[in-house]
Structure 1
Amino acid sequence: MFNEEFHLEQPIRWGMVGGGRGSQIGYIHRCSAQRDHLFQFVAGAFDVDAARGKEFGQNIGIAADRCYPDYKTMFAEEAKREDGIQAVSIATPNFTHYEILKAALEAGLHAVCEKPLCFTAEQAEELLALAKKNNRIVGVTYGYTGAQMIHQARRMIEEGMLGEIRIINMQFAHGYHSAAVEANDQGTKWRVNPKTAGPSYVLGDVGTHALFLAETMVPNLHIEKLLCSRQSFVKSRAPLEDNAIVLIQYDNGAIGNLWASCVNAGSTHQQKIRVVGEKASIEWWDEHPNQIVFAEQGKPVQILDRGQGYLYQDDEAITCDRMGGGHAEGLFEAWANLYRRFATAMDRVNHGEQASDVMNEMWFPNITDGAQGVRFIENCVRSADEGSVWVEYK
């Protein structure tokens, strides 16, 4: 059960870039970071409109003199304070992530960043090197992987209950953008513009979530090559895709397929991960995040529920239930589980440990995982643009 008494010697002083009025993602960052009193929210640069950002910040309880017009000013001014921020969350459009995260690391700050971290593998390598040099933690908000049953599935796979892994089916295929909603929705408009979204739309926006679910559940498999076909069914979105299919060959001979889409008309989310082994399979669906389906060949299908005594009890990622089994926990709890881990990792580094050691010893979506997402998108775009051919994974 969740340990409410767990605390840090001092909460991590924390600020935000972006996530202001009208943000699709800012609220869940703030709620999740503060839920367990491990972060103290003290500053922000919330909006490209400085006056609007200051008004917003004051309305949610930030002191007026710590509502900054931009991230550069915030980093500079907070560095002058004895009580300045120690970490920052970046909740801005894709094209800004690289420059803001780089500036945060150069300022000696830990960071939590929306994906993608950047647009190219070269930029990702630069960020990896900078984080290592400055010994900083970077968390990435692959929020669904904070769900406990993902980690129950990981342990069952690790224990060999599925046998050798053969097939991984991944999908995140919603229908909310089956028409050109971006004409009247600013939150979607930047996502379908290559200048602000980068080289991909749905592969980066939702596909990497499904990919990281697979990487969390089966971490010992690595991609050898892939083939990507991507489409722009709403023609005005070209060259960015609103639908994509990726075929994957793993290094153990297993295969995978990923369907990423925003034009699956009638679908709410349809984010599912199914791992098939020689003896059994496991499936998780984000619209039913408290369960996994375990199906062993020749035996009745089992539905395993969060919070039950038959789950692995020696793993905090599985047993961190915030309420008893049978009650629904959802995305806010999953994000809070991640922010709890981000805080723990940052605090360990603040007390003298090396970030690389901490990342090796505890699981959380980190900068290496974020860099892998950038590489995946880059390889998918390369395959699609070369005529949907198999490419060696770089």
Structure 2
Amino acid sequence: MIYGEKKVDKPIRWAMVGGGKGGQIGYIHRSAALRDNNFQLVAGAFDIDPARGKDFGVNLHVDPERCYPNYETMFEEEAKRKDSIQAVSIATPNGTHFEITKAALHAGLHVVCEKPLCFTSKEAEELEILAKKKNRVVGVTYGYAGHQMIEQARQMIANGDLGEIRIVKMQFAHGFHSSAVEEGNASTKWRVDPKVAGPSYVLGDVGTHPLYLSEVMLPNLKIKKLMCSRQSFVESRAPLEDNAFTIMEYDNGAVGTVWSSCVNAGSMHGQTIRVIGSKASIEWWDEHPNQLRYEIQGKPAQVLDRGMDYLYPEALVDDRIGGGHPEGLFEGWSNLYARFALAMDAADRGETLENMWYPDIKAGVEGVRWVENCVRSADNGAVWVEYQ
């Protein structure tokens, strides 16, 4: 169980690019990073408007002199300080992620970046090579993976509780953009602009979340080929899709599907992952993240609850408040930020942590690669393509 005791010798001096007032994602980053005292927010370039960003930073108790007008100035000025930042989180629109991550790595900083990491596999691989060269940690915020029951699912599959894995059924299909809401909402408008959002909308924005959950639960399962069909039901979003169906074949003969959508009218999140084996199945739904449904063929269905002694020890490590009390997204993100801190601290000491997963640079690369392959399939008439 987590009691808030220190995991690193000293809090990591941390900054943010973006995440200013008006956007909920910045608050989630800060709440997660600061919860266990693994990070200390000491600087930031919080807003594209320098004055607004400085005012916001001061209201976060950041020194006014360390509230910078842009990330370039921040990296340059912080490098002159003895107490300079060690890590930065990037919470800006998609089209800026590559350049800011690259600049941060060149500045010798660890990075936590919103997904997608960038737009192309070539860019992603460039960042991966640079991170390795600089011995810096790059984390990607697939925040749902921090929920305790995801680790329970991983351990159940590894232990053979499900038998041979046959089918992985995934979806993230909400309904909040079932009409052209972007016409009156700036934070949504950029998501449907190819210049800012990249080659896809819902494939990259929501589809990569359950995809990464499958990678955590099934780390040895590799995609062999896929087929994707995508649609723009709100026509003004074309060429970007607001709905997509992807079918995948894995290297062990298993199959998988991902439904990515923002036009599932009436649905809140609709994010689920169901893993089906030869003996049993498990299913997790992010709107009820404290439970994992476990169905053994020929027996009554079970609902496993987080924090209970019958879970695998590896899952209980991420427990924060004991069984019966509900945990949510903030706890899940906090668990990931704790992992980021451990990885960053180890890298700074020239060490590598064994047997600890987190959404790292490889996860970021894989997310970009998956979207790229889906778009290639869809734009060629929803044909099967070898996974590249």
Q: TM range, normalised to the smaller chain?
A: over 0.9
Question: How many Å apart are 1:324 and its aligned residue?
Answer: 1.5
Question: How many Å apart are 1:305 and its aligned residue?
Answer: 0.4
Which residue of the partner structure matches residue 152 of structure 2?
152
Question: How many Å apart are 1:321 and its aligned residue?
Answer: 1.4
Which residue of the partner structure matches residue 349 of structure 2?
351
- Whether 1:370 and 2:361 are equivalent positions in the alignment is no
Give the TM-score normalised by the residue count of structure 2: 0.99
Question: How many Å apart are 1:306 and its aligned residue?
Answer: 0.3
- Whether 1:278 and 2:299 are equivalent positions in the alignment is no
Which residue of the partner structure matches residue 203 of structure 1?
203
Cα offsets for 1:265-290 (capped at 9, x unmatched): 00000100000001100000000000
Cα distance in 2 for partners of 1:126, 1:8 equals 29
What does 1:74-153 correspond to in 2, within 5 Å?
74-153=74-153
- Say which of 386, 390, 393 aligns to 2:384: 390
1:385 partner amino acid: D
Alignment partner of 2:376: what SS? helix
Percent identity reads: 68
Alignment partner of 2:350: what SS? coil
2:374 partner amino acid: C
> Is there any run of 5+ residues in structure 2 with no aligned partner, and where?
none
Which residue of the partner structure matches residue 320 of structure 1?
318
Aligned partners of 1:200 and 1:240 also within 8 Å: yes
Cα distance in 2 for partners of 1:378, 1:104 equals 25
Alignment partner of 1:228: what SS? strand
Cα distance in 2 for partners of 1:250, 1:327 equals 38
Cα distance in 2 for partners of 1:240, 1:344 equals 38
- Whether 1:193 and 2:187 are equivalent positions in the alignment is no
Cα distance in 2 for partners of 1:237, 1:351 equals 47
Alignment partner of 2:331: what SS? helix
Cα distance in 1 for partners of 2:7, 2:118 equals 33
Question: How many Å apart are 1:60 and its aligned residue?
Answer: 1.4
2:115 partner amino acid: K
Question: How many Å apart are 1:31 and its aligned residue?
Answer: 0.6
Question: How many Å apart are 1:12 and its aligned residue?
Answer: 0.3
Cα distance in 2 for partners of 1:24, 1:199 equals 24
Question: How many Å apart are 1:6 and its aligned residue?
Answer: 3.1
Give the TM-score normalised by the residue count of structure 1: 0.97
Alignment partner of 1:90: what SS? strand
Aligned partners of 1:33 and 1:340 also within 8 Å: yes
2:107 partner amino acid: A
1:256 partner amino acid: G
2:111 partner amino acid: A
Which residue of the partner structure matches residue 291 of structure 1?
291
Q: Structure 1: which 4+ aligned runs deviate by more than 3 Å? A: none
Alignment partner of 2:112: what SS? strand
Aligned partners of 1:307 and 1:319 also within 8 Å: no
Alignment partner of 2:204: what SS? helix
1:379 partner amino acid: N
Aligned partners of 1:24 and 1:187 also within 8 Å: no
What does 1:187-336 correspond to in 2, within 5 Å?
187-313=187-313, 315=314, 317-336=315-334
Which residue of the partner structure matches residue 43 of structure 2?
43
Alignment partner of 2:131: what SS? helix
Alignment partner of 1:25: what SS? helix
Alignment partner of 2:241: what SS? coil
Aligned partners of 1:149 and 1:318 also within 8 Å: no
Cα distance in 2 for partners of 1:366, 1:267 equals 30
Alignment partner of 1:361: what SS? coil
Alignment partner of 1:123: what SS? helix
Aligned partners of 1:3 and 1:320 also within 8 Å: no
Cα distance in 2 for partners of 1:344, 1:159 equals 26
Aligned partners of 2:6 and 2:38 also within 8 Å: no
